Homo-oligomer: A and B are copies of this chain.
Amino acid sequence: MQILKERIQKYGKNLGHGILKVDSFINHQVDPVLMDSCGREFAARFASINATKILTAEISGIAPALMTGLYMNLPVVYARKTKPITMPDEVYLTLAPSHTKGRMVELIVSPEYLAGGERVLIIDDFLASGATIAGLVRLAEAAGARVIGIGTLIEKIFEGGRELLTPLGIPIESLVCITTMDDGKIEFLK
């Protein structure tokens, strides 16, 4: 997706160790118009999969997931990392390593909003190691739902997430693919 690629080229920062800082338009400051375009693009790419729900992880998955949900007319559930007092005692919970926090985090979904038989589209900001998305897949499976597509804004293909998720046999769509971040560079898939 050209406009997202150009934004990364212009404002993305390679902080080393595979960390791509996109805080000026995705992760701390968000550009709603850009997210709107990304949501529209996901909706087009996943138009035919007949999803019934979008699942993402707080925090930075919310913006692209919300815009995708808008164009697909689907509810969005975001897995919480801490259990709020409004959530029932019995929940679906899994652990996933956080790349930017350097530790395991919990991913929690209430059974109220993820039911057996749902067809789940996972949307997130990054596909890196795939660990967070694999965690979301486990939550969906625990609920008896079926994940039928995965969409991410930015894939770092050198971190192996696609290999981890390919056995699911479902479409995986990334709007931008980065091939290497070695030596301070940010190189895109041609």
Query: Oligomeric state, in number of copies?
Result: 2
Whether B86 contacts A19 by the Cβ 8 Å rule is: yes
Whether A29 contacts B77 by the Cβ 8 Å rule is: yes
**B residues within 8 A CB of A100?**
84-86
Known: A25-B75, A30-B62. 14 other contacts (CB 8 A): A19-B86, A21-B86, A23-B87, A23-B112, A23-B113, A24-B113, A27-B86, A28-B86, A29-B75, A29-B77, A30-B69, A35-B66, A59-B62, A86-B100
A interface residue numbers (CB < 8 A to B):
15, 19, 21, 23-25, 27-33, 35-36, 58-59, 62-63, 66-67, 69-70, 73-78, 80, 82, 84-87, 100-102, 109-110, 112-113
